[in-house]
């Protein structure tokens, strides 16, 4: 097992490689989480060195760090044209499909990823898995009204254990005021089919499955940074 401080170095190396995809004048979607934090700090250094760019943050946490780093932000209630969105992931399979949402920002993260001309994902090598699921649950954002019934529908569909996410003994609330349930699936062999089926359940706002969205995968490994491009369909 790779020590945590070494993993942080691998995340940082992936983030530093990702900023090479950012050009002067771009609008950049800024992800949330430990890997994206390294990205925002690196972009801030580029802005202070004279680069012109604007950011669309995927969480209040990222917005605060971006402002602290000197990155101008776009009003998130307006329509934007995002050149590139860069974010981390909790898991990535060989088909570049992801599980995201460990930090609870999956709704904004997916909106930004879907709006971007290019979506770049940063991970350390431990996030690569043969299939999604297993040790990492699938987060699903649900509205509070009737959430128990929504969870029951998810259980019936997936035949898996569904757990309400809590923080400090109370239900975790997203920035949109919703709840998150974590679905413990042994293995997700058909992520696209599962995403489609889950989205048919009333009460589900969004799932942490990011299917067919990744254009570039940047992996920090002990042997160096690897860049992989999604095959064009």
Tens digit of pLDDT for each residue in 40-54? 999 999 999 999 999
pLDDT band of 3, cuts 50, 70, 90: low
CA 121 to CA 87: how far, in whole Å?
5
CA 24 to CA 35: how far, in whole Å?
22
CA 72 to CA 55: how far, in whole Å?
6
Answer yes or no: is pLDDT of 232 > 90: no
Amino acid 1: pLDDT: 56
Answer yes or no: is pLDDT of 149 > 60: yes
Answer yes or no: is pLDDT of 204 > 70: yes
Mean pLDDT to the nearest integer, 49-71: 96
pLDDT band of 148, cuts 50, 70, 90: very high
Q: Which domains, from first to last, does the chain contain?
A: 4-127+212-221 (3.40.50.1360), 138-201 (3.30.70.260)
Annotated catalytic sites, by residue? 109
Cβ atoms of 99 and 138 within 8 Å: the answer is yes
Interval 5-42: pLDDT, tens: 688 999 999 999 999 999 999 999 999 999 999 999 99
Mean pLDDT to the nearest integer, 115-120: 97
Going from the C-alpha of 221 to that of each of 52, 94, 122, 123, 195, the distances in angstroms are: 31, 16, 11, 9, 29
**Average pLDDT taken over every residue of the chain:** 95
């Amino acid at each position: 097992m790779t020590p945590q401080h070494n993993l942080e170095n691998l995340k940082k190396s992936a983030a530093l490689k990702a900023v090479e995809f950012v050009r002067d004048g771009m609008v950049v979607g800024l992800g949330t989480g430990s890997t994206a934090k390294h990205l925002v700090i690196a972009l801030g250094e580029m802005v202070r060195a004279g680069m012109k760019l604007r950011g669309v943050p995927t969480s209040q946490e990222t917005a605060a760090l971006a402002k602290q780093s000197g990155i101008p932000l776009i009003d998130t209630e307006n329509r934007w044209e995002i050149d590139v969105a860069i974010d981390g992931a909790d898991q990535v399979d060989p088909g570049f499909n992801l599980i995201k949402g460990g930090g609870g920002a999956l709704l904004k993260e997916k909106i930004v990823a879907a709006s971007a001309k290019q979506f770049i994902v940063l991970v350390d090598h431990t996030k690569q898995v043969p299939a999604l699921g297993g040790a990492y649950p699938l987060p699903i954002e649900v509205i509070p009204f009737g959430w128990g019934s929504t969870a029951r529908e998810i259980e019936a569909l997936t035949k898996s254990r569904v757990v309400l996410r809590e923080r400090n003994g109370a239900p975790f609330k997203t920035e949109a005021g919703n709840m998150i349930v974590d679905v413990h699936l042994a293995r997700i062999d058909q992520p696209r089919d599962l995403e489609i089926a889950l989205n048919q359940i009333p009460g589900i706002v969004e799932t942490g499955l990011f299917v067919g969205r990744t254009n570039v995968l940047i992996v920090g490994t002990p042997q160096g940074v690897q860049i992989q491009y999604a095959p064009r369909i």
